[in-house]
Structure 1
Amino acid sequence: MSTPSTPARGRPARLDRARTLQTALDLLDQSGLDALTMRRLADAMGVQAGALYRYFATKQDLLTAMAERMLEGVADATANNEGRNDDWSDRLATLARAHRAALLAHRDGARVFAGTHATGASVLGFAEAFVGVLREAGFRDDDAARALYTVVNYTVGHTLEEQAALQAEAGAPESVDTLRDAVATGPYPHLSATLPTLTSTDFTRLFEFGLDLLIEGLRARRAPSADN
């Protein structure tokens, strides 16, 4: 007798880890993180909810695996630059941009990633590439490790806000007007002067500005001997 995770004779398996992950990502893109439940995933797979626990003991385990899948290939973002005399900062920025793009590729991607601590080949490969760029550039080991956390936290935090803003704008496009009215009717001369930028939806430009600040800060901390 076949079970929900064991195929009947001559039929393809209905449930395996790779297909389950892909279905979970599809559901995430369709309805968002809040609507992604183990029961809904099981329904989409055509199995009983209990069958999923063969691969993922909890929903958190599923989300961790999803975060790992999202970062597939990100570590290779600088592969085409190997052998060239690219500045370390260019390689670092490339990795950070690839990380952001991977999170943006899925609805609520940053929320999924932020709540997990994946230790698979994709996530650790990305971290290895990032820290390696800095160590090879002459940064101390502790600075390289802390820079990884700093840039990753910035990227995830920025993307969290970016995705939340885009979803809010889609659901309530008057939110920008509300901000403008609040600033215009209050004692906020400095906010008024910078309102065009504050209400801009050019998130890539905003991300690049912050990334540049972080890289320039790292450049200032770089070990003097690295330039010799």
Structure 2
Amino acid sequence: MSDASTSPRPARGRPPRLDQARTIDTALALLDDSGLDALTMRRLADAMGVQAGALYRYFRTKDDLLAAMAERMMADVRVPAGAVDWSGRLSGLARALRQALLAHRDGARVFAGTHSTGPGTLGFAEACVGVLRDAGFGDADAARAMMAVVHFTVGHTLEEQAALRPDGGFPADPEVLREAVTAGGYPHLTAALPTLAEPDYAPHFEFGLALLVTGLAARVSPS
């Protein structure tokens, strides 16, 4: 047991300097401020006012921290209400996932590959698989369809966030693309340039999501 004379307690009424929830919130704040590449365990410890080794009480590795951050983002996903048919409910879930990832800088990079098993992540997957099973998909197809929707959404959002500057602008100059396409003699790309240079990714997402859901609808067995 620690000696009280050498281990001062936090002031009464003040939250402890380090706890898991506050550490995750601070990590997300640092992520929003500087991006994933600048988020290190040492910088997080400095922001919490502790030694870096203290973080390992809750997170053995940075991957463990990223999984906890992904789970915290998933806690903000809400199953949409109002859609009557399964395709509308599934599309609403995909949109909700995209918005949760877009809510944080590099959110899709944090989420990708973390494989969280927390209630937020599992609750989202449960909702997706439930919608698909209710629609008539078998168990295996429902699982694969859920993964296809998640992978499309995360991959699209990765590209979307990679194109965004921290201030919300876009680093790519459409004129650079326009000059390269027209100078190179690409008539089909020239015809498609207005869409290719469009900085709003929402229509691109909706188009791809509609294709995916339409393909799933063609596959599902009749009830």
**Residue number in structure 2 paired with 1:204:** 202
Matched, 1:23 2:26: yes
Partners of 2:121 and 2:105 lie apart in 1 by 19
| Residue of structure 2 aligned with 1:47, choices 28, 42, 50 | 50
**Residue number in structure 1 paired with 2:163:** 165
The one-letter amino acid paired with 1:77 is V
Partners of 1:58 and 1:93 lie apart in 2 by 34
Aligned length: 219
Matches within 5 A, 1:96-135: 96-135=94-133
SS of 2:164's partner is helix
Q: Share of identical aligned residues, percent?
A: 66
Bigger proportion of residues as helix: 1
Residues 184/86 of structure 1: CA separation in 2 closer, same or farther (3 Å cut): same
| Residue of structure 2 aligned with 1:67, choices 66, 70, 90 | 70
Q: How many angstroms does 1:175 deviate by?
A: 3.0
Residues 189/16 of structure 1: CA separation in 2 closer, same or farther (3 Å cut): same
**Structure 1 runs not aligned, ≥5 long:** none
Matched, 1:32 2:35: yes
**Structure 2 runs not aligned, ≥5 long:** none
Matches within 5 A, 1:143-222: 143-167=141-165, 173=171, 175-222=173-220
Q: How many angstroms does 1:174 deviate by?
A: 5.2
**Residue number in structure 1 paired with 2:86:** 88
The one-letter amino acid paired with 1:133 is V
The one-letter amino acid paired with 1:161 is E
Q: How many angstroms does 1:9 deviate by?
A: 5.7
C-alpha RMSD of the superposition: 2.1
Partners of 1:172 and 1:198 lie apart in 2 by 14
Residues 2/12 of structure 1: CA separation in 2 closer, same or farther (3 Å cut): farther
Deviations 1:30-67 (A, max 9, x none): 00000000000000000000000000010000000000
The one-letter amino acid paired with 1:50 is G
Q: How many angstroms does 1:176 deviate by?
A: 2.1
Q: How many angstroms does 1:217 deviate by?
A: 0.2
Matched, 1:56 2:54: no
